[in-house]
A and B are shown apart, each in its own frame.
Chain A
Amino acid sequence: QKEVEQNSGPLSVPEGAIASLNCTYSDRGSQSFFWYRQYSGKSPELIMFIYSNGDKEDGRFTAQLNKASQYVSLLIRDSQPSDSATYLCAVNKKPFGGGSNYKLTFGKGTLLTVNP
């Protein structure tokens, strides 16, 4: 089982719709969860992070975390063509035995296309 799994897509939505991006992770010890957006030829850009179960909203973006189901999602409301990019889910796992050397593991990303 992969540590962090995402549907590779492409996920295609019309402009103005809600885009829903999903991510599952295998390690129950995971403590923090991040969503990055990566445009073609560019580096990843942090757009959301969440540490606790529930929802976290920032503008058009909502991150949802369910630790019991080991599931994290990103909702993009009122999707725009400029949202077309690959969205990377990343999970931070606390090292076994304590310490501070967390390891950030990325999924392979979901390609989102927003059609005008």
Chain B
Amino acid sequence: KAGVTQTPRYLIKTRGQQVTLSCSPISGHRSVSWYQQTPGQGLQFLFEYFSETQRNKGNFPGRFSGRQFSNSRSEMNVSTLELGDSALYLCASSLNSGNQPQHFGDGTRLSIL
């Protein structure tokens, strides 16, 4: 069974640009969550999508947004990039929203110059 697939694996952008990251969950998983990981802050929750609806949101500015498609694939968008957005962005999927274990993809390493 294929795991969670994230694309691209690496991305280099400059300040002010925008970026879109993609996540394909494990087959049959309907919930997708996004996290930002940095050395200083650790893993921080961005948002969760289930059945194309955002179920929960972390404490990030509105520049961070996402969506989920009918096939459960999800995208995350960051607009007006700042240097502090440099991080590893991780997507995790679970069978359903709620108490289920989440399984992570390999992540997208985003570097802002």
Residues of A within 8 A of B (CB): 31-32, 34, 36, 42-46, 49, 51, 88, 90, 92, 94-95, 100-109
In angstroms, how far is the closest chain B Cβ from the Cβ of A91? 11
Contact: A100 with B55, CB < 8 Å?
Answer: yes
The CA-CA distance from A94 to B97 in the complex, in Å, is 11
The A-B contact count (CB < 8 A) is: 55
Interface of B is mostly: strand
Contact: B105 with A103, CB < 8 Å?
Answer: no
Residues of B within 8 A of A (CB): 33, 35, 42-45, 48, 50, 55-56, 58, 88, 90, 96-99, 101-107
The CA-CA distance from A36 to B43 in the complex, in Å, is 12
If the complex has contacts A101-B56, A104-B33, A107-B42, are A34 and B101 also in contact, measured as CB distance less than 8 A? Answer: yes
In angstroms, how far is the closest chain B Cβ from the Cβ of A109? 7
The CA-CA distance from A36 to B35 in the complex, in Å, is 14
